[in-house]
Structure 1
Amino acid sequence: MKYINPVLILRVLQGVLAFIAMALGATSVNAFNTAKLDIPVPAALAFFTFTAVFTMLLTVPYTLITPRYFPQLAHPMAMLSAEATTSILWLGGFAAVADLLRKNEIVVDAGRPAARGCVAVGVFEL
């Protein structure tokens, strides 16, 4: 009987959470775009959305596919660097959005719940 690799379960969960984070970040950005205000989208929301896309398109596929199919590219230090970079990006992303919420700089009422969701998902993703 084959067993399920627990690392595979964690990577799938990481990808799903990154997708949810991307959707929440995009919802917050969209709220600013549809509000017809003369204020730009906060850079923290754009950075948070970038972090989610970075995780989905680079980190998760690299850590899933490389060890199995390209073991010569799966150097332990390269894997550690990918994970450390992603962790630093998630920490910076959710902290920046939390700071926006703390300062009440998200003036669009439709963007506030999605920004709160960004912080919650970012904490779990970290």
Structure 2
Amino acid sequence: MPSALVLGLRAAQFAMAMVILGLSAYVANWYNVDTLTTSPSQINWLLFSSLFTIISVAYLELTPRFAPRASHPYVSIALEFCNVLFYFAGFIALSVFISKLLFCRGTVCGAAKADVAFGVMEFLLWGVSAVLMGKDVFKMGFNFRKSGRQAPLEGPQMKESQLA
């Protein structure tokens, strides 16, 4: 993948995760402090997803640069697709939750609706980066030498016989 495009995607993913973290924390705090009920699981899921995104972006960007032996393309693509699924589930669940409320007004409701909108944008960002990463990983196949790595459990090279 082009480095500038990936870096831009990662920066946008990190920024959106911070926004979702703030919005979800605000709504969860309102539920836990101002009402008699705990925060909904849909809000808690988006809190988890944003924290998972921060950890994922750190792994995807820092590991290949500073610990390349700990980086594996299949782990990277798994993180990408997990984030896609987490945000898809999160924004769908929260939008259904908001649609079932009897009333929705005030700053908390606005924050929850914004949380859905940012969840959709995060889903799209992770979807684009997952497709780009998947294309690169499956184009590379099992040949890890293109990325400068040795294939795991590779035995010694065979020598030709001197019989002729």
Q: Is the pair's TM-score, using the shorter chain for normalization, greater than 0.5?
A: yes
> Is the Cα contact below 8 Å between 1:22 and 1:52 reproduced in 2?
yes
Question: Per-residue CA shift, 1:36-94, capped at 9, x if unaligned?
Answer: x32221111111111111111x1000010111122222211110001111111111111
Contact 1:59 1:82 (8 Å CA) reproduced: yes
Three-state SS of the structure 1 residue aligned to 2:116 is helix
Corresponding residue number in structure 2 for 1:71: 68
Determine helix, strand or coil for the equivalent of 1:5. helix
Residues paired across the two proteins, number: 122
Percent identical among aligned pairs is 28
Q: Distance in 2 between matches of 1:15 and 1:99?
A: 25
What is the RMSD of the two structures over their aligned residues, measured on CA atoms? 2.0
Match of residue 119 from structure 1: 116
Q: C-alpha distance in 2, partners of 1:103/1:69? A: 47
Higher RCO (Cα < 8 Å, 6 or more apart): 1
Which residue in the other structure is 1:51 paired with? 49
Amino acid corresponding to residue 45 of structure 2 in structure 1: F
- TM superposition score normalised by structure 1: 0.87
The separation in 2 between residues aligned to 1:92 and 1:115, in whole angstroms, is 15
Residue segments in structure 1 that go unaligned for 5+ positions in a row? none
Compute the TM-score of the two structures, normalised by the length of structure 2: 0.68
Structure 2 gap ranges (5+): 124-164
